[in-house]
Amino acid sequence: MVKQKKFPERKEQILKAAEHIFAKKGFHEATISQIAKKAEVSDATIYEYFSNKEDLLFSIPGSETERGKEELEHNLKYMRGASNKLRGFIYHQLMFYQNNPEWAAVVMLILKQYRKYISTDAYQTIREWSQIITQIVEEGIDSGEFKPDTNPYLVRSVILGTIEHAVIAHLLIGRYKDLLELVDPLTDLVISGIQKDKKLKDMNLRIVVDPIHE
């Protein structure tokens, strides 16, 4: 039996088709035949690249997440200060979800239901993406920009939890039509809670004692 040659472009074509069908119909209602039709390939071709429908679902976040992470890391190199980097992270995340609504629907509404997903390479990439926040916060603590008792993991939970809530509301009920409108409010809220008070840092206490006149 001759082994079929695999093409990266065709795999991406199948993944984009699956992303569209899963976002539109949900995992259980979607079929391999529907995905194959959307991708303009045969059912058999899909099974050359993915072992089953679940494997196909779990593979969707992979390359898109990796590209997004690389773009974010590249942009952060040109930003000075931890506060600016946090703003950049929040902007990038919200822009990414705004520009990729079907991808967002699959990740936020479908994949979170499957515990097996956390053992995949794609999930590991998403974890590495989220760890950028803790690295930025630790940088801010070391530089004196953020309070020394700031908990990087709590900051990460606040940011990611707020973004997740906003994206789900955006997808399900149409709230926050422009997700980018949340960049400044969320950034300012986080920064105001962890930024070191410059007034206290720079304040010089001067005591002037007048001579006692008898």
Tens digit of pLDDT for each residue in 140-188? 999 999 999 999 999 999 999 999 999 999 999 988 889 999 999 999 9
> How far, rounded to the nearest angstrom, does the alpha carbon of residue 175 sit from its chain's CA centroid?
19
Report the amino acid identity of residue 208. Answer: V
Tell me if residue 45 falls in helix, strand or coil: helix
61-196 CATH: 1.10.357.10
**What residues does CATH 1.10.10.60 cover in the chain?**
8-59
**Cβ atoms within 10 Å of 213's Cβ, excluding its own:** 4
Residue burial 162-199, b: 16+ Cβ < 10 Å; e: rest: bbeebbbebbeeeebeebeebbeebbeebbeebebeee
* pTM of the full structure: 0.83
Strands (E), 33-181: none
Please provide the distance, in angstroms rounded to a whole number, between the alpha carbons at the two ends of the chain.
113
Range 8-59 classified under CATH 1.20.1440.230:
no
Tens of pLDDT, residues 68-112: 888 999 999 999 999 999 999 999 999 999 999 999 999 999 998
